[in-house]
Structures are given as structure tokens and as C-alpha cells.
Copies of this chain bind each other. A is one copy, B any other.
Amino acid sequence: MSEALPAVLASPEARIVIIGPGLMGGSLAKALRTVAGFSGRIHAVIKSVDEHAAVQKATYTEKRPGQKSKRPKLVNACSAELGPAMDGADLVLVATPPQTIPEIFRALAEQLPSPTIVTEIASVKGDIAVLGKALFGHRYVGSHPLVGSEQQGFRAAKGTLFRGARCVLTPMDKGDDQTLAFLHRFWSALGCEVLEMSPEEHDARLAKTSHLPHLLAYAYMAFLGESDPAALTSLGGGGLRDFSRIAASDPALWREILQENRHYLHADLSRFRAVLDELDKALWDDNPSVLEDILVQGQAARAQFQFPPPLKT
């Protein structure tokens, strides 16, 4: 069950600005309408001319008991610049790639009405959190919904993307409590289970659970690409399909994420390689009990994780 939106967003006068309505930002708009029942205004800020038309045309179905369903606009206004969007905004959601965020934050800081809350959904916090705090103080707390898809763009957006997913909020001190409570209700209303940790803990943990798997999946597929792929492409079963799915993700976005979090990743990679070396040695020494021990450890560690169910497609 989703919770109710924060009180200030429950009014038809409420205003939310989504900067970058791609897969994630577009899904946020859809989830706001169809999961959280948001009836206020959504203003999208979007640079891409191609996406602009699709976002402007998009509608959603409003279900009211006893009435015919209507198809109002998903997004009430679109602009390429921040300026027109800021007037009376209650919440600004920055849903663009990590490396664009500092510039957007600086532009926002010049125009932001004083009570507006700001968050972003970057997969790595690092400098972004430091800058957000410096520019917006307690009006900023970072968000990271642990969802995504190898697909890209507004057309792939889904209102159900956040249902049953975890969302990590990254407060920095006690003064953030009010914004934290606001964003906690916001993400809960979209269907998320909310977790809280510092930006540093977030980056250290996500390096292990998300960034390293992406790095390994890309490296593995690059290895296959060097190994006579024509002889291999018909041999992909379900195991390879699932293992490598995240290597179909946007390389430019993931280059940014890996680069931003390289300090944690480099250390994790070195520990991962130690396990790999141990495994390779057991294989080469033909040492079945050491080999099986490592596999048993891997299987046991996986059994401790609770995963969301696969998205229905």
C-alpha cells in the first residue's frame, strides 16, 4: 500500500518540477499521477527537442467512480529553461545524469523560491551531496530509488517503476529532518520502501551492490566481444541473458557513475580480484574442496538478499 503524499503536495495548487523527464523522470511523473494520485501541476524541464513533443503529448487516465475516464495531460507545462518552471514550485526533482547536476544545481540556486525542496536521484552522491548542501542547506536531501532499466528515455517510462522498490535518502545532519520527513512521505507515496543513510555510506555500499556488478558485466561483455562473438551469439541462454542485462545500460551514464565513485570501486575491485585469484588457483590446482567452498559462500551470501520481484513487461 502506498502512503499519502506530504500535505503540501495534496492540493491541486501544488507544483512539482521535474528536470529531465527521461526513463526515471518520466516514470516519476507517471507514478505521481497514477500511483500517488497527485492532482497538482507538473512542470518538465527538458533540453531535448525530440523528447519534448512526446512529453507534451503524454496523457494519463484519471479514474473516478461513476464517471467516464478522462485523459488529462501528464505534464502541464514543458520548457527548455528553468526560469518559467520555478514560480511557486514546492519540490524540484533533478533526474538528469550525475555530471550535469552541478551546473543545474548552480542555476537552480539563483532562481529557487525560498521554501522549495530540492532532491536528485543520482546513483552516486559524492560531490553532488556536498554541493547540494552548500547551495540549498536543509532544503536539500539526496534520493536514490534503486530501480532502473537498460532502456532509456521518456518512452520507456513506467508509473509502476517504483512499486515495491527501495529508495535510499541521504541526509547529512540533524537539520535535514524536516526535508527528510517530506521526502520519506513523497517516495512512500510512489510505492517505495525508504531507507536512510549518509551520502558516504550510500556510495560505499552502492559501489559494492550496484556499481561493481555493472563494471563486471561490461568488462565481461567486452571480453566476449574480443573472443570471436560470431561463434558465440547463438549460445546465449537465460543465465547469460540475465547476468549481462545491466551491460545493455547506457555507457555514457555508467561511465559517469563509475568515474564519480572510483575511490570506493577501486578498493572493492581489488578485493573482488583477490577472491577471483583464489578461485582460479583452486581451479588450476584442481582443489575441489576449496573451489566448492567459494561457490557455497557465494550461494549463501546471495540467499541473504531480499530482491524486488521482476518488473512485469
Q: Which A residues have a C-beta under 8 Å from some C-beta of B?
A: 146-149, 165-166, 168, 195, 201, 205-206, 208-210, 212-227, 229, 231-249, 251-252, 254-255, 258-259, 262, 265-266, 268-269, 271-273, 275-276, 279-280, 283-284, 286, 288, 291-292, 294-308, 310-311
Q: Is there an interface contact between A165 and B221, defined as CB atoms closer than 8 Å? A: no
User: Which residues of chain B are near A209, meaning CB under 8 Å?
Assistant: 224, 232, 235-237, 240
Chain B: minimal CB distance from A259 (Å): 6
Q: Assess A205 versus B220: contact at CB under 8 Å? Given A238-B148, A240-B210.
A: no
A310 touching B238, Cβ below 8 Å: yes
Bound-complex Cα distance A276 to B241 (A): 20
- In the assembled complex, 26 residue pairs joining A and B whose CB atoms fall closer than 8 Å, in A order, are A146-B236, A148-B238, A166-B234, A168-B235, A195-B235, A213-B239, A213-B244, A218-B295, A218-B299, A219-B275, A220-B272, A221-B298, A222-B294, A222-B297, A222-B301, A225-B301, A237-B308, A238-B310, A247-B299, A248-B299, A248-B302, A258-B295, A259-B286, A262-B283, A266-B280, A273-B273
Pair A251/B292 contact, Cβ less than 8 Å = yes
- State whether B245 touches A298 (Cβ < 8 A): no
**Using Cβ atoms and an 8 Å threshold, which residues of chain B touch A235?**
146, 166, 168, 195, 205-206, 209-210
Bound CA–CA A296/B221 (angstroms): 10
CB contacts (< 8 Å) of A310 on chain B: these are 238, 241-242, 310
Closest to A270 in B: B280
Give every chain B residue within 8 A of A273 (Cβ-Cβ). Answer: 273, 276
What would 17 more interface pairs be, CB under 8 Å, given A146-B235, A213-B220, A238-B310?
A146-B237, A166-B237, A208-B223, A209-B237, A217-B298, A218-B279, A220-B298, A221-B298, A222-B279, A225-B298, A238-B308, A240-B305, A247-B298, A248-B302, A249-B299, A251-B299, A258-B291
Q: Is the CB of B302 within 8 A of A165?
A: no
Please measure, in the bound complex, the distance between the C-alpha atom of A244 and the C-alpha atom of B212, giving whole angstroms.
Answer: 12
Min distance, Cβ A92 to any Cβ of chain B, angstroms: 24
Q: How far is the CB of A257 from chain B (nearest CB, A)?
A: 10
- Asked if A240 contacts B225 (CB within 8 A), the reply is no
A246 CB contact (under 8 Å) in B223, B239, B304: B239
Please measure, in the bound complex, the distance between the C-alpha atom of A223 and the C-alpha atom of B303, giving whole angstroms: 14
Chain B residues, CB < 8 A from A226: 271, 275, 297
A147 to B241 Cα, complex, angstroms? 11
Q: Which residues from B are CB-within-8-Å of A300?
A: 225
Within 8 Å by CB of A147, from B206, B238, B283, B302, lies: B238
